[in-house]
Structure 1
Amino acid sequence: MGIYLDYAATTPVKPNVVEAMMDIYQNHYGNPSSIHNIGRDARKYLDDARRTVAEKLGAQPNEVIFTSGATESNNTAIKGLAYANRHKGNHLITTKIEHHSVLHVFEQLEKEGFKVTYLDVNEEGLVGLEQLESALTEDTILVSIMFVNNEVGTVQPMFDIDHLLQDKDIYFHVDAVQAIGHLPVDFHELDIDTMSLTAHKFGGPKGVGTLLVKNATDIQFSQLGGEQEVKRRAGTENIPQIVGLSEALKTATDELDDNNLHLMNLKNQFLVALQDRAIPFELNGSMIETTGHIVNLYFPFIDVETLLTLLDLANIYVSSGSACTAGSTDPSHVISAMYDKERAFHSIRFSFNEMTTEREIKQVVAELHKIYHKFKKEEV
């Protein structure tokens, strides 16, 4: 298969997750809204999954809403909070480095008359707390900031942001997609109002996610139909995928410490090996406020499209940024916001998980060394 280093885009489904899902497909196929025995059997698995998600994320079971993924969760939270609280104000705040499932929602809300402040970040990808504080106004009703950036791995100061918003009538939404399995996440300890995640980033199936909504949050839900998810999201729940999500979340959180140690070791070995080979590069982001699974590097000697092609031909699979923008000719908006567009045209993302080995890292560095010397000779 080659060497897959694009785990921030998606992860393979873990064997225990597949096993749990197949059991539901084959043996517990009832509609959880049906009142007969087969339906009640399916309902039990739905309720158990909801309790597992709540327990692992520090929430109450009735604060867990199952969705089709983080895009739906982000859309539901941001639009729902904005529409429900427009009578209080029309000012919203986010950052320039959010995922497009957040940024495009804010852009749409601007067209509908909301005012949006897009916060800058520094070269480590961090939001300035003073900048956030100065952006707050009497009309601010929502702040949305992602926990871990999906392109550079920077971890935002969530507790500081939460402290800044305390005692203010402002909702706080967090896209926590890249944090799950890499950082301890406690919904109530962080005092977040809404939080989104998706299963396929931590060994679960695609097409299922979760939106956590704190009790008493004033939010408008738009998906109408049946009374599923306590009337918050109409549509028959996909029990196999929901069970898969809960099983994957349980594994990811239970193995978090061991996996993090492995990932940080891989990240350090990768950077040291590049230095030892004298390959010119610079790290995009922070070496301190970061997770171990994402490394974004600037290679001045080659453009990103050429490098991606050469690595692909060598059966090494990486990306230039979010998989959701694949096919776009625009440079990464994250790297552009942190540095400039020119740097973005020469930057690439490597992302690891617990299955990545030291041998694979050495092979990737060796291939990058070959590519560098090939281009070095051509320049001469």
Structure 2
Amino acid sequence: MMYYFDHCASTPPHEEVIRTLAEVMAKHYANPASLHRSGMEAGKLLDRARALIADLFHTEKKDWIFTSGATESNNIAIIGAARQYKSRGNHIVTTAIEHPSVYDTFKGLEREGFRVTYLPVNKEGILSVSQLEEVLTDDTILVSVMHVNNETGSIQPLAEIGELLRKRRGTIFHVDGVQSVGKLPIDLTGWGIDLFSASAHKINGPRGTGLLYVRQGIQLESIYKGGGQERGLRPGTENVAAIVASAKAFRMAIESQAERYERMHMLRSRLIACIEQLPELVLNGGENQLTAAPHIVSFSYPGMKPEVIVHMLEKHRIIASTKSACSSKDDKPSRVLEAMGLGRARAASGIRISFGDEHGEVELEWLCRMLPMVIQKLRPLERKESRE
């Protein structure tokens, strides 16, 4: 038996979600844009899935489009908003710790001529709202801030940011909510969020399906050419089976969010206590329940390559990860940990543990028992580097 602690990268789909996917795929394979009866039936399923998502987030059905995942949602939202409103100004803002699908998109817009501000964060990975306010100008058309950081679990103060930006009618507020859906409460309208991205495979749904919330009144320039599906923002035949199964996964995740939060917070607290008993390890990010998501624990073993730790854990049937799965195969230090000011040694040796629905006391006990054994085996391999 393997103990899978890499839920930030991807999650095992629920059996109920798998059954729904298979049933819809077998029965409703017609194109939902077709005018015949089979196509209309597929279209109705698509409509019901969109209505369910809208109800879950207390929004309107027409506010949602289906995408292939959060990376595409982020690209559609950020590029679409920047290009659509460039006549208002060319200043856009994000943070230094965003997921590559946001950070690299801003880098691309920078090459197009947009002026980008990458906001710093403190050692807990939290940005300063007052510092954000200081960089805003009359030319600022877009601010993009992730809800929960995918490497450290740091929670950004979205309500405060939304309150600040609500006073600025010309500035659009985008949020990457991939790691917060099903883990934390989300108030899209109350927080003044204009654009919101999410992904099904992070909440026990199928891969290849994502969501993008586009508040009424917000216009996006389409980055694709093709048909008119999904308001022309994501043209192409919709994957009805995956969308219906994803809607079920979102429903299950959001309806059980409160219970999940309590259980995962308990697991996180106990794991942190185990890590603090090992002098070789140092925690990354804060321990404050209000500023740290319940399902993520990040730590470093300065002087040790993270892939060595990951492979050693795997020998003990524990699946963990280093940084974002999208960039885990490169050998560069974590951009996120460096931006938090934790130093190169810690940034080059970060390990992430992320919990899922199958985890309880038994799984945590195994992890806390094996971790000291792994560290003991690694001590002779430790490089003689100064700790930062």
TM-score, normalization: structure 2? 0.94
Quick one: which amino acid aligns to residue 254 of structure 1?
E
Give the CA RMSD over aligned residues.
Answer: 1.6
Work out the number of aligned pairs and report it: 379
Q: Which residue pairs with 2:189 in the alignment? A: 188
Please state how far the C-alpha of 1:218 moved relative to its aligned partner. Answer: 2.6
Provide closer, same or farther for how the CA distance between residues 69 and 278 of structure 1 changes in structure 2, counting only shifts above 3 A.
closer
Please state how far the C-alpha of 1:301 moved relative to its aligned partner. Answer: 6.1
Please state how far the C-alpha of 1:314 moved relative to its aligned partner. Answer: 2.0
Q: Which residue pairs with 1:146 in the alignment? A: 146
Larger CA deviation: 222-231 vs 325-334: 222-231
Larger CA deviation: 171-180 vs 293-302: 293-302
CA distance in 2, matches of 1:373, 1:9: 27
Question: Conserved in 1, the CA contact under 8 Å of 2:177 and 2:198?
Answer: yes
CA distance in 2, matches of 1:268, 1:153: 13
Please state how far the C-alpha of 1:375 moved relative to its aligned partner. Answer: 3.9
Larger CA deviation: 143-152 vs 343-352: 343-352
Provide closer, same or farther for how the CA distance between residues 261 and 85 of structure 1 changes in structure 2, counting only shifts above 3 A.
same
Larger CA deviation: 257-266 vs 355-364: 355-364
1:69 lines up with 2:72 in the alignment = no
Question: Conserved in 2, the CA contact under 8 Å of 1:280 and 1:301?
Answer: no
Question: Conserved in 1, the CA contact under 8 Å of 2:79 and 2:223?
Answer: no
Question: Conserved in 2, the CA contact under 8 Å of 1:58 and 1:185?
Answer: no
Quick one: which amino acid aligns to residue 170 of structure 1?
T
Provide closer, same or farther for how the CA distance between residues 35 and 378 of structure 1 changes in structure 2, counting only shifts above 3 A.
closer
The one-character-per-residue Cα deviations of 1:316-372 (angstroms, maximum 9, x if unpaired) are 111111000121011111111112222112221000012112222222222221122
Q: Which residue pairs with 1:352 in the alignment? A: 355
Q: Which residue pairs with 1:341 in the alignment? A: 344
1:319 lines up with 2:301 in the alignment = no
Q: Identical aligned pairs, as a percentage?
A: 39
CA distance in 1, matches of 2:378, 2:41: 62
Please state how far the C-alpha of 1:186 moved relative to its aligned partner. Answer: 2.4
CA distance in 1, matches of 2:67, 2:381: 51
Please state how far the C-alpha of 1:274 moved relative to its aligned partner. Answer: 3.3
Provide closer, same or farther for how the CA distance between residues 278 and 223 of structure 1 changes in structure 2, counting only shifts above 3 A.
closer
Q: Which residue pairs with 2:85 in the alignment? A: 85
Q: SS in structure 1 opposite 2:79? A: helix
CA distance in 2, matches of 1:378, 1:231: 55
Please state how far the C-alpha of 1:100 moved relative to its aligned partner. Answer: 0.3
CA distance in 2, matches of 1:376, 1:223: 52
1:305 lines up with 2:326 in the alignment = no
Please state how far the C-alpha of 1:377 moved relative to its aligned partner. Answer: 5.9
Q: Which residue pairs with 2:130 in the alignment? A: 130
Q: SS in structure 2 opposite 1:323? A: coil
Runs of 5+ consecutive residues of structure 2 not aligned to the other structure: none
Question: Conserved in 1, the CA contact under 8 Å of 2:177 and 2:197?
Answer: yes
1:235 lines up with 2:243 in the alignment = no
Q: Which residue pairs with 1:12 in the alignment? A: 12
Please state how far the C-alpha of 1:265 moved relative to its aligned partner. Answer: 0.9
Provide closer, same or farther for how the CA distance between residues 284 and 34 of structure 1 changes in structure 2, counting only shifts above 3 A.
same
Please state how far the C-alpha of 1:376 moved relative to its aligned partner. Answer: 4.1
Q: SS in structure 1 opposite 2:321? A: coil
Q: SS in structure 2 opposite 1:182? A: coil
Please state how far the C-alpha of 1:192 moved relative to its aligned partner. Answer: 0.7
TM-score, normalization: structure 1? 0.96
Provide closer, same or farther for how the CA distance between residues 152 and 163 of structure 1 changes in structure 2, counting only shifts above 3 A.
same
CA distance in 2, matches of 1:316, 1:226: 45
Q: Which residue pairs with 2:270 in the alignment? A: 269
Q: Which residue pairs with 1:330 in the alignment? A: 332
Question: Conserved in 2, the CA contact under 8 Å of 1:58 and 1:189?
Answer: no
Question: Conserved in 2, the CA contact under 8 Å of 1:90 and 1:141?
Answer: yes
Question: Conserved in 1, the CA contact under 8 Å of 2:304 and 2:381?
Answer: no
Provide closer, same or farther for how the CA distance between residues 375 and 329 of structure 1 changes in structure 2, counting only shifts above 3 A.
closer
CA distance in 2, matches of 1:60, 1:291: 28
Quick one: which amino acid aligns to residue 311 of structure 2?
T
The one-character-per-residue Cα deviations of 1:87-122 (angstroms, maximum 9, x if unpaired) are 110001000000000011111111111100000000
CA distance in 1, matches of 2:103, 2:128: 19
Q: Which residue pairs with 1:224 in the alignment? A: 225
Question: Conserved in 2, the CA contact under 8 Å of 1:208 and 1:241?
Answer: yes
1:365 lines up with 2:368 in the alignment = yes
Provide closer, same or farther for how the CA distance between residues 377 and 92 of structure 1 changes in structure 2, counting only shifts above 3 A.
closer
Q: SS in structure 2 opposite 1:348? A: strand
Runs of 5+ consecutive residues of structure 1 not aligned to the other structure: none
Q: SS in structure 2 opposite 1:325? A: coil
CA distance in 2, matches of 1:322, 1:132: 25
CA distance in 2, matches of 1:340, 1:58: 42
CA distance in 2, matches of 1:371, 1:26: 46
Provide closer, same or farther for how the CA distance between residues 359 and 218 of structure 1 changes in structure 2, counting only shifts above 3 A.
same
1:18-57 counterparts in 2 under 5 A?
Answer: 18-57=18-57
CA distance in 1, matches of 2:156, 2:129: 10
Quick one: which amino acid aligns to residue 367 of structure 1?
M
Q: SS in structure 1 opposite 2:326? A: helix
